[in-house]
Chains A and B, each alone.
Chain A
Amino acid sequence: MDAESVHSSSSSKAHSRCPLQEQFLQRRNSRENLDRFIPNRSAMDFDYAHYMLTEARKGKENPAVSSPSREAYRKQLAETFNMNRTRILAFKNKPPTPVETVLSDCSSAAVHQPKPKTRRYIPQTSERTLDAPDLVDDYYLNLLDWGSSNVLAIALGNTVYLWDASNGATSELVTLDEELGPVTSVKWAPDGRHIAVGMNNSEVQLWDSTANRQLRTLRGCHSSRVGALDWNNQILTTGGMDGQIVNNDVRVRDHIVETYRGHHQEVCGLKWSASGQQLASGGNDNLLHIWDRSTASSNSPTQWLHRLEDHTAAVKALAWCPFQANMLASGGGGGDRCIRFWNTHTGACLNTVDTGSQVCSLLWNKNERELLSSHGFTQNQLTLWKYPSMVKIAELTGHTSRVLFMSQSPDGCTVASAAGDETLRFWNVFGTPEVAKPAPKAAPEPFAHLTRIR
């Protein structure tokens, strides 16, 4: 192509001075019409042929002619030839491929792609499916929680059931009276023994699960249903449909210690950070707030640390990163469909991913840098993401309606999900902790791997 254009321009320029060249060209043109058989053009070096032709002609016919474009072209050709004069060599013996090494499983730890490369098997179907009749299909509620004592609490209609994951035994904790219910939220205290139950009538009950006995009722915090709960040691934080967030000290009579006002619609997501310093709250007003515990005061409503307005739908799914302090993942509802990552110290949005579907719930893998999200229409799937690349590792389907709630077992391996299809499913998605952390990083001695084979 390049050769052609230079050729034609030079020939037209040389037209007056050098008829011979034109004749030569014409002959070449007429020859092109002949039906020649050329076996394989790709094997021909046209650049070289052209160079040889033009070079030879110049020497004979027109040694003085040198247009700048021609000069440049010659130079370029010469360079190409220089390249061609180079030999490109490689060792016959190739370096060992990483998988052949003893540490192959570790090398693929940096790898995240669905089928051929996963270093751990992620079952695509649920381990176990339980019926969850009368599960309220409401995005704004939080009806599932897996406590530290390995007991799962799920609210179905007016009743809170406990399912002991160690032996599969089911028991009923409480059935609310018609006028109080349905249950709008459940949350285990960190001790795994006490559980808070938020109700439609704006009250919250505290229960002792071992004694199966109600301890107290928290009243006067909210004016409408309590859809979000989270514990920070003895502080129970409640979020209501009235947009208020209240910190309750469950030990004292006047339990309301702080009030956070910032949402003007229903609060549906509440999560304390692991340090207990920061609270993230999401609401139906598309807002995500970060509140700082240390600046909270009892007498006046507390100002938020950050107000994050990037989501364009209700923010319910919230998850604090277990391996990076001050990092929060948040997911937006059906109109937004995005998972966002925040530095809650600075309020900066670190990354955002459009999932293409309502984000109902988010969970971090405690053992790997992975995030699990649960979704609504159209797939009703659970998606496992590699962090920070956000490559999809697995999509788990099975639910036939939106996957409203997820909760993680205390060992971090199994995830329970409850969906609008009134089923509760268990997924062995996060693997086992032993596999996840194979080697201490600070032991790079040459033969360290030998001891590990044994």
Chain B
Amino acid sequence: MASSKTATKDIITLRGSAAIVSEFFGYAANSILYNRGVYPEESFAKVKKYGLPLLLTQDEGVKSFISNLNSQLSEWLEAGKLQRIVLVIMSKATNEVLERWNFSIQTDEEVVEKGVSREKSDKEIMREIQAIMRQIISSITYLPCLDEPCIFDVLAYTDKEAEVPITWIESDAKLIENPQMVKLHSFDTKIHKVDTLVSYKNDEWDEE
């Protein structure tokens, strides 16, 4: 059964790859917002995805924010113009950046330019994504407690020449000074390679 699966060739196109990456980001963002308690637990509902129980926000505002974001990300991904997506968690009171979830994306230029496709099985990609999701879920064990109300924002790093709709504005990088960093797994669709890294504010509280 497994051998027949591996024998079949899985063609992946630029479009398909962009869809996988942006979908991944949607679930990852939901997972982070849930696990880091940015929005109340009750506003999330359980779904099954990537072979894992994941939680999706039911808050209409957050939902539409993420879906708008995703459609724009897909566009940029298909054009090969997206270099990085960063989900930033900030203190609501002070706007201080507490956590940065960094998803850097490497695009296979050849695919974008010549429109060729690549081969990689869906199953394998899902397995790689699953590993990242698991890491995001387990990240609460080492990330410092977010003990104040937080807000989040998403930054997209694009090429200079990328087309930008008017709903987007230039932003600063919202960096954390002297952060702790933890690199998570990566996944590769053979067209887009996504590396995940979380950086967070050093918890001075522990050191006192």
List residues of chain A with CB under 8 Å of any chain B CB: 85-101, 103-104, 106-113, 116-117, 386, 389, 391, 439, 441, 443-449
Contact = CB atoms under 8 A, between A and B. Distances in A.
Interface string B157-190: 1111010101111111100000000000000000
B172 A111 contact: no
Contact of A111 (B46, B149, B158): B149
Contacts of B169: 89-92
Contact of A103 (B40, B150, B158, B164): B40
Nearest to A444: B45
Contacts of A439: 42
Given A94-B65, A96-B62, 19 more contacts: A86-B160, A88-B156, A89-B169, A89-B171, A92-B168, A96-B61, A96-B65, A97-B149, A98-B38, A98-B39, A98-B92, A101-B61, A103-B43, A106-B40, A107-B39, A444-B46, A445-B58, A448-B42, A449-B43
Interface of B is mostly: mixed
Interface size class of B (residues with CB under 8 A): 35 or more
Nearest to B157: A86
Contacts of A110: 37, 40-41, 146
The 7 closest A-B pairs by CB, nearest first: A96-B61, A107-B40, A90-B171, A446-B58, A95-B65, A106-B40, A103-B40
Interface of A is mostly: loop
A446 B55 CA distance: 12
Contacts of B167: 91-93
B68 A91 contact: yes
Contact of B152 (A89, A95, A107): A95
Contact of B45 (A93, A108, A445): A445
Contacts of B43: 101, 103, 444, 449
B145 interface: yes
Interface string B127-147: 000000000000000000111
Nearest to A103: B40
B32 interface: no
Contact of A98 (B40, B46, B83, B166): B40
A444 B93 CA distance: 28
Contacts of B68: 91
11 contacts: A86-B158, A87-B157, A87-B158, A88-B173, A89-B170, A92-B167, A95-B66, A101-B59, A389-B145, A444-B45, A445-B45
Contacts of A93: 65, 167
A99 B93 CA distance: 11
B46 A117 contact: no
Nearest to B69: A91
A88 B170 contact: yes
A117 B148 contact: yes
A446 B61 contact: no
A416 B153 CA distance: 46
B54 interface: no
A54 to B, nearest CB: 24
Contacts of B37: 107, 110
A439 B43 CA distance: 11
B155 interface: yes
Contacts of B125: none
A203 to B, nearest CB: 49
A87 B170 contact: yes
B93 A116 contact: yes
A89 B41 CA distance: 29
B170 A96 contact: no
B154 interface: yes
Given A89-B169, A89-B171, A97 B159 contact: no
B44 interface: yes
A99 B151 CA distance: 9
A131 to B, nearest CB: 40
Nearest to B58: A446
Contact of A89 (B44, B46, B65, B158): B158
A83 to B, nearest CB: 9
Given A91-B65, A444-B58, A98 B151 contact: yes
Nearest to A99: B149
A441 to B, nearest CB: 7
A255 B157 CA distance: 77
B151 A97 contact: yes
A91 B155 CA distance: 8
B150 A98 contact: yes
Contact of A87 (B66, B149, B164): B164
Contacts of B162: 87
A405 to B, nearest CB: 31
Nearest to A116: B93
A441 B41 contact: yes
Contacts of A101: 39-40, 43, 59, 61
B83 to A, nearest CB: 6
A89 B159 contact: no
A90 B172 CA distance: 9
B85 to A, nearest CB: 10
Contact of A99 (B65, B66, B92): B92
Contacts of B171: 88-90
A42 to B, nearest CB: 15
B11 to A, nearest CB: 31
Nearest to A445: B45
Contacts of A89: 155-158, 164, 168-171
Given A86-B83, A89-B156, A91-B68, A98 B45 contact: no
A271 B101 CA distance: 46
A104 B37 CA distance: 12
Interface centre among B37, B43, B62, B157 (most CB of A within 10 A): B43
A440 B69 CA distance: 32
Contacts of B151: 94-95, 97-98
